[in-house]
Amino acid sequence: MAKPGVANPGNPRCAALLIAAPSSGSGKTSVTAALARRYIKDGLRVRAFKIGPDFLDPMVLEEATGAPVYQLDLWMVGERESARRLYEAAQVADVILVEGAMGLYDGEPSGADLAQHFGLPVAVVIDASAMAQTFAAIASGLLCFRPQLIGGVIANRVAGERHAQMLLEQLPHDIPFLGSLPRLDDAAIPERHLGLVQAGEIGDLGRRIDAMADAWRPRPAPVPMRVEWKPVEKVAPPARLRGVRIAVARDAALCFIYRANLELLEAMGAELHFFSIIEPTLPECDALYLPGGYPELHATRIAANTAMKDSIAAMHAAGRPILAECGGMMCLAESLTLTDGTSHVMFGLLPAEVTMQTRLAAIGLQEAELPEGRLRGHTFHYSKISTAMTPLARATGNRDGAPGEAVYRTKRLTASYVHLYFASNPEAAAALFLP
């Protein structure tokens, strides 16, 4: 670890750290947010990223850093685009923090693969709440699995100073101890069935992050080693959407939107107009984007929103483009049945019934070959759809090509559980919204 210090503006040797864990639930988001805020309090400029398809964790990291947070992924985002994002961040930051996904070695490609590809040191977050000497054994095992990858370990949810000291004493000398974070019940970030509660729903999120940053030990936090970032030229996308007005649902019900998707649409010339699916007014538009989210938590209000239902139905009847992903597709079904058995009549543009489950129905990276072109993305949902519709296409898994989610189309309405990453094929993405 380097000594704390502020780098010169535009320094391509910005410090970086990939924060991983042995498994999900270890507290990666809390640790990343706490460390980011700690660095900021220490006078450093911070940029953060999230590995893989995730909408909720970046919301927390944006609150922690006060800066945009983008995805990195060797498959969905791609090596070149990931490299460009990292290089651009290095021009304005002193420290780059990359939050991993799942366990360090989980997935294809994994967080470990991305770290090795870009030469990022890895800090492993280990939940130490119910262990002592075993902490060192887990750290040693992770290091031995892929030598030279681990840059240090972080102890999360420690019971106190004595507990942290015990963990440090057992750790092999060749594994740096980067810090610890105590269990702070009043600063914990609440969760629900798809992950963390949205940052905007946590009224005191800033206070919680500050509390974690203030509890971080040691202070100042050690700065990770610097990484040599190679310049990557930004390629301008085609201006296929110049003047096209796209209404984008963005509220508590439909909120799963990649920041990169919105920026790409604007870069291609689109005019974005945001609205709420639970409010009556749909902006005047040429195309409609209904992303995923939590329609099941707002089903009563969505079902009662007849003005919005009529407006979207009129768009569909007129043959205007509509893209509905996951939660957006659920809103357009005939009905949505919740886990308590309550059924709500939805907008009815798709002859389908959606039923919520208490268990995960699907998860994974997928790509779909559409008439517009091949697009990559991911799926992650707790509901199931029942329909007699014949799919336009069926997505396939990134790892083995196994059959994935169905993609439905009626007129210009395209609907699927797949959350598309538009930059994987800008031309195809633009074609989905062209009037």
Give catalytic status of residue 326 as yes or no: yes
**CB burial of residue 189 (10 Å; 0-12, 13-18, 19+):** buried
Q: Helices 111-118 and 79-90: crossing angle, nearest 10°?
A: 60
Cα torsion angle, 297, 211, 37, 181, sign: negative
Of 334, 324, 292, nearest to 409 by C-alpha is: 324
What does the DSSP 8-state code read for residue 298?
A: G
> Which structure tokens are listed for 324?
């509905």
CA pair distance 338, 41, nearest whole angstrom: 44
Interatomic CA distance for residues 265 and 78, integer angstroms: 18
Q: Catalytic: which of 14, 255, 285, 326?
A: 326
Percentages of the chain per state (helix, strand, coil), in multiples of 5: 30, 30, 40
Looking at the chain, the number of H-run helices and the number of E-run strands are 12, 25
Active site residues: 326
